[in-house]
């Protein structure tokens, strides 16, 4: 898919330091930023970068056409865990809320303040998920652990990489025993060493558990999970149609009808997981894959969580974070409906409603809650987006008493046959038209750049990850 190739030429990642640095830089504090950042950037560069940020932020109000700029994959997911400021310890204002709109944090948790807590050091330390390919030499070190019944990586024929993530990569694979003509699979391989370093062990186990719990035509299904001394492996069905991000960046923006179709399939996936008390928390086009017929397959449950009521961990992708997440007010399934509003906007406009290169400015915009619509939005689309982007989660479509029914019965979805949709009987807008094991609709990634992954000392943190094949 040629237009996608150009994406690899974009600056895909920033270092964690850069993000923390950006967090330090308030949009209206250029002079201060100039003083604070002499190490890495000249004052002119800082000012230029801020100006560019502002220019980009004008696009939703019609100032600059963001779509004339190359679309870059959001390489950043964030995950901030502050166990001891959960609940009301910080008076309801979270660590990010404290910094949004201020150059220095002031409303940080009291006990953290007393001990000289530095919000930005903390932000730097805990921000994770820069999607840098750390690469893995799959050939090296696949010693099987003694867990009965589990598969091993040697049981698979591995083909090429279709995605890279924070701790490893996803590769097309097939069971050796079933042969090269068998059903293709996607193997997500995570380096244990990186998982431990990024404090992701619990998260990866939860990802495996949640994938095992899900059973929806719009969510990738898990075949099995296993581990060896160096890596964790999640074996899933392979979606050959690329991701929705590819569709949006190739076409610039989607039609109202196409956006409605994809959003509807995502809403059915949400209906399924919310019934299981699972909150997804990382909706974005990059995590929405298309299967061989073009139907949505939600992947990447790395931030999903079983939540009875509320949770506080700050995680997700900046453009898609709900205000209650940013403000650390405790969040639940409402964040997924908020993110659906952002997604509908992004599909129709080609950019997110609160877009900016500086995450702190994104958070300011989210909290300000102003969404500007361009001409391509029809009245019904505007209305559903406004209802999904309600700051008060209790009034948000999907979160009120009627649950997902409010979303389904909204005029924007008028005429949509939900029964047929739920059975995958409505023809998707895009038909991949490639063999089931074809990888051409994904970006190309370099294979195996470095030596084998290190063995981790304490394997007990991964107990419970593996399942039988």
Ligand X SMILES: Nc1ncnc2c1ncn2[C@@H]1O[C@H](COP(=O)(O)OP(=O)(O)O)[C@@H](O)[C@H]1O
Residues annotated as catalytic are 282
Place of tokens 């994809």: 262
Cβ atoms of 34 and 246 within 8 Å: the answer is no
- Closer residue to Mg ion, CB minimum distance, 226 or 303: 303
Min dist CB 363 to Mg ion, Å, is: 21
**292 forms part of the interface with ligand X (CB under 6 A):** no
The entry of Mg ion, ligand X, none near residue 404 (CB within 5 to 8 angstroms by kind) is none
Residue nearest ligand X (C-beta atom): 165
The pair phi, psi for residue 177, each rounded to 5°, is -65, -25
Helices 16-24 and 119-126, axial angle in degrees (round to 10) = 150
Binding ligand X (rule: CB under 6 A), the pick from 286, 319, 336, 346 is: 286
What CA–CA distances, in Å, run from 204 to 31, 195, 279, 315, 344? 42, 8, 15, 14, 28
Q: How far apart are CA 289 and CA 188, in angstroms?
A: 14
The entry of Mg ion, ligand X, none near residue 238 (CB within 5 to 8 angstroms by kind) is ligand X
Residue ranges of E strands in 355-426: none
Min dist CB 287 to ligand X, Å, is: 5
Which string of x and - marks every residue 427-446 that binds ligand X (by CB under 6 A)? ---------------x----
- Closer residue to ligand X, CB minimum distance, 166 or 201: 166
| H or E segment and range at residue 145 | none
189-202 burial, b for 16+ CB within 10 Å, e for fewer? bbbbbbbbebebbe
Residue nearest Mg ion (C-beta atom): 300
The size of the interface with ligand X (CB under 6 A), counted in residues, is: 19
**163 forms part of the interface with ligand X (CB under 6 A):** yes
- Closer residue to ligand X, CB minimum distance, 109 or 165: 165
Place of tokens 């990850």: 465
**289 forms part of the interface with ligand X (CB under 6 A):** yes
What is the DSSP pairing of strand 231-237 with strand 288-290?
Answer: unpaired
Which one of the spans 236-244, 260-268, 319-327, 459-467 is the region binding ligand X (CB under 6 A)?
Answer: 236-244
**57 forms part of the interface with ligand X (CB under 6 A):** no
- Closer residue to ligand X, CB minimum distance, 90 or 282: 282
Min dist CB 296 to ligand X, Å, is: 12
Which one of the spans 57-65, 294-302, 343-351, 369-377 is the region binding ligand X (CB under 6 A)?
Answer: 294-302
Min dist CB 241 to Mg ion, Å, is: 16
Min dist CB 340 to ligand X, Å, is: 18
Name residues contacting ligand X, limited to 168-227 (CB under 6 A): 170, 186, 188, 220
**239 forms part of the interface with ligand X (CB under 6 A):** yes
| Closest alpha carbon to 168 in 122, 200, 120 | 200
The pair phi, psi for residue 219, each rounded to 5°, is -130, 135
Min dist CB 405 to ligand X, Å, is: 30
Which one of the spans 79-87, 116-124, 157-165, 404-412 is the region binding ligand X (CB under 6 A)?
Answer: 157-165
Say how many Å lie between the first and final Cα of the chain, rounded: 34
Q: How far apart are CA 369 and CA 275, in angstroms?
A: 28
| Closest alpha carbon to 263 in 351, 372, 345 | 345
Burial class of residue 103, CB neighbours in 10 A (0-12, 13-18, 19+): middle
Which one of the spans 11-19, 257-265, 281-289, 344-352 is the region binding ligand X (CB under 6 A)?
Answer: 281-289
Question: Interface with Mg ion by CB under 5 A: which residues?
Answer: 287, 300
**285 forms part of the interface with ligand X (CB under 6 A):** no
Cβ atoms of 107 and 328 within 8 Å: the answer is no
The sign one gets for the Cα dihedral 23, 58, 94, 83 is negative
| Closest alpha carbon to 219 in 288, 170, 172, 274 | 288
**291 forms part of the interface with ligand X (CB under 6 A):** no
If one counts every other C-beta atom within 10 angstroms of the C-beta of residue 387, the result is 19
Cβ atoms of 170 and 162 within 8 Å: the answer is yes
Min dist CB 420 to ligand X, Å, is: 25
What CA–CA distances, in Å, run from 348 to 49, 53, 125, 298? 27, 22, 36, 20
**159 forms part of the interface with ligand X (CB under 6 A):** no
Min dist CB 184 to ligand X, Å, is: 9
- Closer residue to ligand X, CB minimum distance, 56 or 219: 219
Which one of the spans 35-43, 106-114, 164-172, 250-258 is the region binding ligand X (CB under 6 A)?
Answer: 164-172
Which residues bind to ligand X, rule: CB under 6 A?
A: 162-163, 165-166, 170, 186, 188, 220, 236, 238-239, 243, 286-287, 289, 299-300, 302, 442
């Amino acid at each position: 898919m040629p237009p996608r190739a150009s994406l690899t030429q974009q600056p895909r990642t920033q270092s964690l330091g850069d993000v923390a640095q950006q967090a330090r830089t308030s949009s209206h504090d250029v002079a201060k930023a100039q003083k604070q950042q002499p190490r890495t950037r000249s004052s002119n560069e800082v000012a230029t970068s801020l100006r560019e940020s502002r220019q980009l932020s004008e696009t939703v109000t019609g100032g600059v056409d963001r779509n004339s700029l190359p679309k870059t994959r959001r390489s950043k997911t964030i995950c901030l865990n502050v166990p001891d400021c959960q609940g009301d310890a910080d008076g309801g204002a979270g660590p990010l809320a404290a910094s949004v709109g201020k150059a220095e944090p002031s409303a940080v948790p009291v006990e953290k303040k007393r001990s000289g807590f530095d919000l930005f050091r903390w932000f730097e330390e805990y921000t994770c998920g820069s999607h840098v390919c750390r690469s893995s030499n799959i050939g090296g070190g696949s010693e099987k652990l003694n867990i009965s019944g589990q598969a091993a990586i040697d049981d698979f024929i591995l083909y090429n990489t279709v995605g890279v993530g924070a701790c490893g990569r996803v590769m097309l694979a097939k069971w050796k025993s079933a042969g090269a003509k068998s059903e293709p699979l996607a193997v997500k391989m995570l380096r244990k060493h990186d998982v431990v370093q990024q404090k992701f062990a619990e998260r990866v186990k939860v990802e495996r558990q949640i994938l095992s719990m899900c059973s929806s035509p719009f969510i990738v299904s898990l075949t099995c999970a296993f581990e060896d001394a160096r890596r964790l492996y999640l074996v899933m069905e392979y979606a050959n149609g690329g991701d929705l991000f590819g569709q949006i960046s190739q076409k610039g923006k989607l039609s109202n009808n196409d956006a409605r179709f994809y959003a509807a399939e995502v809403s059915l996936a949400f209906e399924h997981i919310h019934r299981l008390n699972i909150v997804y928390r990382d909706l974005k086009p990059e995590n929405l894959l298309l299967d061989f017929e073009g139907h949505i397959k939600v992947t990447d449950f790395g931030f999903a969580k079983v939540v009875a009521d509320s949770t506080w961990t700050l995680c997700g992708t900046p453009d898609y974070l709900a205000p209650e997440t940013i403000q650390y007010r405790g969040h639940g399934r409402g964040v997924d409906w908020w993110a659906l509003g952002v997604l509908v906007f992004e599909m129709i406009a080609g950019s997110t409603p609160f877009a900016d290169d500086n995450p702190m400015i994104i958070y300011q915009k989210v909290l300000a809650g102003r969404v500007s619509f361009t001409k391509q939005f029809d009245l019904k689309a505007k209305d559903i987006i406004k209802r999904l982007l309600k700051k008060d989660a209790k009034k948000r479509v999907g979160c009120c008493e009627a649950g997902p029914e409010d979303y389904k019965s909204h005029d924007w979805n008028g005429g949509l046959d939900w029964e047929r949709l739920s059975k995958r009987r409505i023809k998707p807008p895009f038909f991949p038209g490639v063999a089931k094991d074809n990888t051409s609709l994904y970006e190309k990634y370099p294979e195996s750049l470095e030596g084998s992954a290190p063995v981790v000392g304490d394997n007990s943190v991964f107990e419970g990850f593996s399942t039988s094949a």
